[in-house]
Structure 1
Amino acid sequence: MLHTYYTLRALADEWRRELAGSLLADAFSQERDELVLAFARPQAAWMVRISTGSFRYLFRAEGYSRARRNVATLFKEALGRTLRNVRVAERDRVLFFELDDGTRFQCWLYGPHPNVLWVGSDGQVQAAFQQCEAWQGQPAPTPRPAPEVATFEAFRARWRSDRKTLVQAVASAFPLFETLLAQETIYRAGVTVQAPAECSEAELRRLYEAGRALEAELMHPAPRLYEADRWTVHFALMPLKHLAHLPCRSFDSVDAAVRAAVRRALAARAFQAAYEPLRQALETAVARARQEQRALEAALARPDQAAQYEQWGHLLMAQAHQVPAGAKVVELPDWFNSGASVRIPLDPTRSAVENAQAYYERARQARQERDALHQRLEAVRQRLPKLEALRAELEHLDTMAALRAFRQRHADELARLGLGRVGRKSSEGIPAFRRVPLGQGFEAWIGRNARENEELTFRYARKYDLWLHARGVAGSHVILRVPGRNRVPDRKVLERAASLAAYFSKARGSSVVPVVVVPRKYVRKPRGAAPGTVVFEREEVLLVEPQPPEAVQAENF
């Protein structure tokens, strides 16, 4: 109900009584898509904040404050004039602030192109908050009053049986109603059918009478907020019977209720913007850790081939004289299994001894791989409970203060997981690249698309940083940020960064990926090439296993 004509009408009535006769002291914007009109008297000041962004709002705050920088002063020629009247258009959601020289601010907050226009006494737009050049000199748009539904016949004529829901049909029949008022109308009318086409004539009449009764109540606001959940409050201009089960807070004025509702919504949006990316990142980290644990356990459950390779090597070495030259397979007595024969695949280009040595090498590699699997499994078994504990603790947070405390309390753990900056705005104008701390002061910055790759490599990377990319496949640019010009990363840090470059590439599914490592100063973009395309020289190639950020940080847990 926050955005209805009825709310604007009630606000206009209250603001007219309190603001009429005050001076327009300032008009500025310091937040994107938000205009502030500051009014003042000798002993008092107020700011009317108007948003034309994705979340549209209008409320008044007491006092006056303005940032020292990154602020645009607007409507300079209107400043210093006296506010004569505040009114709302007849049955339309357009609010007017009328000044003593005949000019007015015309606030169109709803519809596809919300704006605040400063309109001269001749009806021509002198300036606009949005798209000022396009509006200057144009005639101000005229409000369009919604039809008044004063009889049952008018209501019946507007009834749309083809609407999907009863709420939509009621809101269509009463054009100034939104969802909350339509739901209250249905509740008070006692109509239980689901489809508009199923309404009987008697039920339609009850809906009409309930809606008209609501319109009469809206003439005498009794504002309140209903608490639906920790994120959602419903603003209402009067008691709503269908929400009577919810906790409710009453207000002495519509102005105070609207201010509380908008601030609550802004706080909830800010919290969600910081909370939700972190929650999703932890959910993803937990899911990946569980998937990795299952994959490692499955790999270790398979038979260990190291012993078999070693036995084949022993048999070939001991019975080399029985192996024909150029054979692709040989059948020999298996001294390790009661003398039964065993078939051993061979490389026909190698001798029996060379084949035996190859099997010894394969046995050594298989043991190393299995040891590595055990180490990774142990690491993920230690990491997973910590991730689950972080996620469980996060789920109980519901305020920005609690979220900040959570970040501070677990700063080290979140940084090791590469989640330290998730949900935070980048500082100093630097895009929010993926950032993964690698220890010893080194950090990997990872581009997320072609445009970010180009910005990262050619705008934000320093000449002495290292540039990494999976060789021969599409993928993210990774910059290994060096903490000092003379610092040289050790092999472990290089391999961590290379594992990230392999993971954020088309070769993610490979077991081993070649990754190019080049000092940034040897990377350049060919003339006319597409964003993200580079050529380089003096590269080094590392062979690494693709690893996500949380796995790269596993050894720090």
Structure 2
Amino acid sequence: MAFDGITVAAVVKELQETITDSRIARISQPETDELLLTLKTKEGQRRLYISASASLPLIYLTDTNKPGPMTAPNFCMLLRKHIGNGRILGITQPGLERIIRLEIEHRDELGDLCRKFLIIEIMGKHSNIIFCDEEYRIIDSIKHVPAGMSSVREVLPGRTWFIPDTMHKLDPLTVTEDQFFQALSEKPALLGKAIYTSFTGISPVIAEEICWQSGIDSGITATDLSSDARTHLYRQFQYYMEDVKSGTFSPAIYFDGNTPKEFSAVPLRHFSNLREQTFSSVSEVLSAYYAVRNTLIRIRQKGADLRHIVQTALERNRKKYDLQSRQLKDTENRDLYKVYGELIQAYGYQLPAGAKELTAENYYTGKEITIPLDPVKTPQENAQKYFARYNKQKRTFEALTELIRETSDEIRYLESVESALDIAMSEDDLTQIKEELTQSGYVRRRNQKKKSKSKNLPLHYLSSDGYHIYVGKNNLQNEELTFHFASGNDWWFHAKGVPGSHVILKSGGEEIPDRTFEEAGKLAAYYSRNRGAEKVEIDYMEKKHVKKVNGARPGFVIYHTNYSLVIDSDISNLKAIQD
């Protein structure tokens, strides 16, 4: 989700309540586009983290310190000179712009009181931190923007700071009903897009929520709305804006399983299919959301080499499978060649010398058949030619059938590793997957020293009825869960016909409620290739019916007696336990 104007409004309200009248005790610049202000408030020390990163612009209060470089950058030194020990008089947001202005009072070199502005612009790749005097003349900025980079506004020392109006959007906090629908009517886009492109600070997610709360399809245009629908939409829009103006915020993160999908400072009811976790402050939301997102991004980056190995092997095996399948198709007529040879042996004595074909009754079908012959060969030699062709294709068929089975098993295995990479949440997960690929010969072991056994644990959930459910995160964990951890009377779950995790429901020798079976099935659906599907078929049975084939890859099993259920992959109501 974009760091929209409503989120900025929630941040401003929080900062007004916590750091107004605080003193700036320390200023550091940990990265080229970051600031960390240490503030002394009446309640104690607080830290304000500000990032103008093009990929991840942020501002929030944090308890985490971040060390700066040994030599402070010029912008940091400038701020220390001017506003070190300065007092924050106020924090404001112009309209619903993604802009925060810190008004700071300090004493100049002569001891006179002066005011300066530290302006934070949260605008994606155009984000910046700009330091201005009382007349909004730019003293310096963390990023310089000359005319060659932007024809709209220069951000350079000596220039006057202003808010560029490039999109010509209306202020949603002051818009009238007539202005509201005039703006929407001028947009040929669908209603949801028309809302977020017409009004400042509104993100696509908030536009979708306003339409949903109004009971109106966001996929129609404003001109398709009836008079009543138009009035209802505007009222719902106003309800949202009234909450923003009054500072009524409900910070929350919306999770798809354990993965944070969205965050918001206001409720998002159209995400009823996601698990909502509320927080007491928007800073906690931003810190938690981006900490998890950054972890996921880092894990994806660190797992890129493993993913490349797996995808390369998958592509190679899929090409091999296609080639083998085409070659197998060429052996479809092998039995016909055998029949040709037998018929030539049975009726060939009637043929005149130099005959080019034999027409005879196929005693297997009772139908007449014509067999091509080589006129320079005898009937016996023609028969032997067809028998030789039959035997060659028979041997090819038998060999290819086995090769195709092996290639198919290899593809299934590699897809299961790819699925494990998709759900990896830590470096320990990647280490265990790398060890598995090493054992399988896809990764060369760099040193021969045997590593200690991994302490990486499977996922652990508690059902609504209090039963413990465990989920393997990769094939090695699946193997351990099924054949070493689970007891014979525990229940085993797996998505049918697709790569996925082994799920073990610990029964404790008790009769399991239907609701717990359904929840275990949902976990098997969620941690499979079919995650997100409305209906996923799940096989389940007591663990004692699950068998391992000698020589099979880790985590590969067979079973002949099982139950089935069809379930969705929504696990938002399940409680994860941190072991």
Output the TM-score relative to the length of structure 1: 0.55
Q: C-alpha separation between the residues in 2 aligned to 1:13 and 1:262? A: 20
1:550 aligned partner: none
**Partner letter of residue 261 of structure 2?**
V
The answer to whether the 8 Å contact 2:211/2:218 transfers is no
Q: C-alpha separation between the residues in 2 aligned to 1:274 and 1:333? A: 68
2:451 aligned partner: none
1:109 aligns with 2:110: no
1:38 aligns with 2:37: yes
CA 163–295 in structure 1, closer or farther in 2 if over 3 Å, else same: same
**Partner letter of residue 273 of structure 1?**
Q
Q: C-alpha separation between the residues in 2 aligned to 1:194 and 1:438? A: 54
Output aligned runs, 1:150-549, within 5 Å.
150-160=175-185, 162-192=187-217, 194-196=219-221, 197-218=223-244, 219=246, 220-228=248-256, 230-275=258-303, 278-279=306-307, 281-295=309-323, 338=381, 384=411, 386-395=413-422, 397-410=423-436, 412-413=438-439, 416-417=441-442
1:89 aligned partner: 94
Q: C-alpha separation between the residues in 1 aligned to 2:137 and 2:410? A: 66
> Which secondary structure state, in structure 1, belongs to the residue aligned with residue 126 of structure 2?
coil
Q: CA deviation at 1:110?
A: 1.0
> Which secondary structure state, in structure 1, belongs to the residue aligned with residue 37 of structure 2?
strand
CA 271–214 in structure 1, closer or farther in 2 if over 3 Å, else same: same
CA 278–69 in structure 1, closer or farther in 2 if over 3 Å, else same: farther
CA 86–380 in structure 1, closer or farther in 2 if over 3 Å, else same: same
CA 299–5 in structure 1, closer or farther in 2 if over 3 Å, else same: closer
CA 392–5 in structure 1, closer or farther in 2 if over 3 Å, else same: closer
Q: C-alpha separation between the residues in 2 aligned to 1:194 and 1:215? A: 22
CA 404–34 in structure 1, closer or farther in 2 if over 3 Å, else same: farther
The answer to whether the 8 Å contact 1:232/1:265 transfers is yes
Structure 1 portions without partners, runs of 5+ = 304-330, 343-371, 421-436, 442-557
CA 289–12 in structure 1, closer or farther in 2 if over 3 Å, else same: same
Q: C-alpha separation between the residues in 1 aligned to 2:265 and 2:134? A: 34
Q: CA deviation at 1:210?
A: 0.7
CA 62–39 in structure 1, closer or farther in 2 if over 3 Å, else same: same
Q: C-alpha separation between the residues in 2 aligned to 1:411 and 1:146? A: 56
1:119 aligned partner: 132
Q: CA deviation at 1:206?
A: 0.8
Q: C-alpha separation between the residues in 1 aligned to 2:142 and 2:401? A: 63
2:159 aligned partner: 139
Q: C-alpha separation between the residues in 1 aligned to 2:432 and 2:139? A: 50
**Partner letter of residue 391 of structure 1?**
E
CA 382–205 in structure 1, closer or farther in 2 if over 3 Å, else same: closer
**Runs ≥4 residues deviating over 6 A:** 300-303, 331-337, 372-379, 438-441
The size of the alignment, in residue pairs, is: 365
CA 107–292 in structure 1, closer or farther in 2 if over 3 Å, else same: same
1:430 aligned partner: none
1:186-243 Cα offsets, whole Å, 9 max, x none, are 1222224732131112211111011001111222112222224544432222333322
CA 71–296 in structure 1, closer or farther in 2 if over 3 Å, else same: farther
Q: C-alpha separation between the residues in 2 aligned to 1:439 and 1:9? A: 53
The answer to whether the 8 Å contact 1:275/1:403 transfers is no
CA 293–245 in structure 1, closer or farther in 2 if over 3 Å, else same: closer
**Partner letter of residue 132 of structure 2?**
V
> Which secondary structure state, in structure 2, belongs to the residue aligned with residue 238 of structure 1?
coil
The answer to whether the 8 Å contact 1:29/1:73 transfers is no
Q: C-alpha separation between the residues in 2 aligned to 1:298 and 1:242? A: 49
> Which secondary structure state, in structure 2, belongs to the residue aligned with residue 291 of structure 1?
helix
CA 373–71 in structure 1, closer or farther in 2 if over 3 Å, else same: farther
1:525-544 Cα offsets, whole Å, 9 max, x none, are xxxxxxxxxxxxxxxxxxxx
Q: C-alpha separation between the residues in 2 aligned to 1:202 and 1:55? A: 41
Q: C-alpha separation between the residues in 2 aligned to 1:245 and 1:407? A: 31
2:576 aligned partner: none
**Partner letter of residue 184 of structure 2?**
W
CA 2–292 in structure 1, closer or farther in 2 if over 3 Å, else same: closer
CA 44–438 in structure 1, closer or farther in 2 if over 3 Å, else same: closer
Q: CA deviation at 1:247?
A: 1.6
Q: CA deviation at 1:23?
A: 1.4
**Partner letter of residue 287 of structure 1?**
E
The answer to whether the 8 Å contact 1:187/1:242 transfers is yes
Q: CA deviation at 1:244?
A: 3.4
1:48 aligned partner: 49
Q: C-alpha separation between the residues in 1 aligned to 2:379 and 2:34? A: 86
> Which secondary structure state, in structure 2, belongs to the residue aligned with residue 248 of structure 1?
strand
Output the TM-score relative to the length of structure 2: 0.53
The answer to whether the 8 Å contact 1:27/1:37 transfers is yes
2:484 aligned partner: none
- Over the aligned positions, Cα root-mean-square deviation in angstroms equals 4.1
Q: C-alpha separation between the residues in 2 aligned to 1:265 and 1:192? A: 30
**Partner letter of residue 18 of structure 2?**
E
The answer to whether the 8 Å contact 2:253/2:278 transfers is yes
1:65 aligned partner: 66
CA 75–439 in structure 1, closer or farther in 2 if over 3 Å, else same: closer
Q: C-alpha separation between the residues in 2 aligned to 1:40 and 1:162? A: 45
CA 192–124 in structure 1, closer or farther in 2 if over 3 Å, else same: closer
Q: C-alpha separation between the residues in 1 aligned to 2:238 and 2:446? A: 68
Q: C-alpha separation between the residues in 2 aligned to 1:393 and 1:70? A: 43
**Partner letter of residue 155 of structure 1?**
F
> Which secondary structure state, in structure 1, belongs to the residue aligned with residue 29 of structure 2?
strand
1:364-419 Cα offsets, whole Å, 9 max, x none, are xxxxxxxx999999996785564344234334x241245333344336258x53xx
